[in-house]
């Protein structure tokens, strides 16, 4: 089962990565990148690295890609003709992919055995959990780079808004 899931996530990640490169529209390329990052998070889950998978989804596929999509939508708005051509095919593809996802999710949840779930996930080092050590290092030792990165992202968003307003 693990090999099948690895091949599935690897195939999805590879196809989405190729789609990032070959897409003509930047917006669809960014959506493909979200799919690729989510599939990589699935591979992390197979490697039993749940924390890294959660960070992959929350930070990269979530926050960073939302910012990318926000900037892309400000700088490259959709034309009405491009939207009208794709509405019919995208609706059918969306329903098909949603149905496939529900069937896969149902079969995965049906085969999941709750008795095998580990109950104590804390890895302690001298009474302090590994996540507590990571959080302490991030917000004590690396606080300045963390805050500089957030200010840099804010400046990028403001710059995108200013550039988008100049065109109109």
pLDDT, residue 160, reads 73
pLDDT in tens, 137-163: 778 887 887 787 778 878 877 777 777
pLDDT in tens, 103-131: 877 777 777 676 665 555 555 555 557 67
DSSP letter at 119?
A: S
CA–CA distance, 97 with 33 (Å, rounded to integer): 17
CA–CA distance, 135 with 118 (Å, rounded to integer): 23
CA–CA distance, 43 with 52 (Å, rounded to integer): 10
CA–CA distance, 90 with 35 (Å, rounded to integer): 16
Contact 32, 19 (CB under 8 A): yes
Name the band, by pLDDT with cuts 50, 70 and 90, for residue 10.
very high
CA–CA distance, 163 with 158 (Å, rounded to integer): 9
Exposed, middle or buried: residue 105 (CB in 10 Å: 0-12, 13-18, 19+)?
Answer: exposed
Q: What is the pTM of this model?
A: 0.53
CATH numeric code, 1-65: 1.20.120.1200
Q: How many residues does the chain have?
A: 168
Contact 36, 20 (CB under 8 A): yes
**Mean pLDDT (the chain, rounded):** 77
Q: Where are the domains of the chain?
A: 1-65, 125-168
DSSP letter at 147?
A: H
**Mean pLDDT (whole number) for 40-56:** 86
pLDDT, residue 12, reads 95
What percent of the chain shows pLDDT beyond 70? 74
């Amino acid at each position: 089962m693990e090999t099948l899931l690895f091949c599935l996530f690897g195939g999805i990640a590879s196809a989405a990565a190729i789609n990032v490169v070959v897409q003509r529209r930047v917006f669809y390329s960014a959506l493909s990148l979200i799919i690729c990052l989510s599939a990589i998070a699935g591979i992390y889950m197979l490697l039993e690295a749940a924390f890294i998978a959660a960070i992959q989804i929350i930070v990269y596929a979530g926050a960073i890609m939302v910012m990318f999509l926000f900037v892309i939508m400000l700088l490259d708005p959709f034309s009405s003709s491009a939207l009208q051509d794709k509405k019919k095919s995208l609706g059918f593809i969306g329903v098909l992919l949603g149905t496939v996802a529900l069937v896969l999710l149902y079969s995965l949840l049906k085969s999941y055995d709750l008795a095998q779930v580990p109950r104590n996930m804390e890895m302690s080092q001298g009474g302090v959990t590994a996540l507590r050590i990571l959080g302490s290092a991030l917000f004590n030792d690396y606080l300045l780079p963390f805050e500089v990165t957030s200010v840099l992202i804010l400046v990028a968003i403001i710059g995108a808004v200013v550039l988008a307003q100049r065109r109109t």
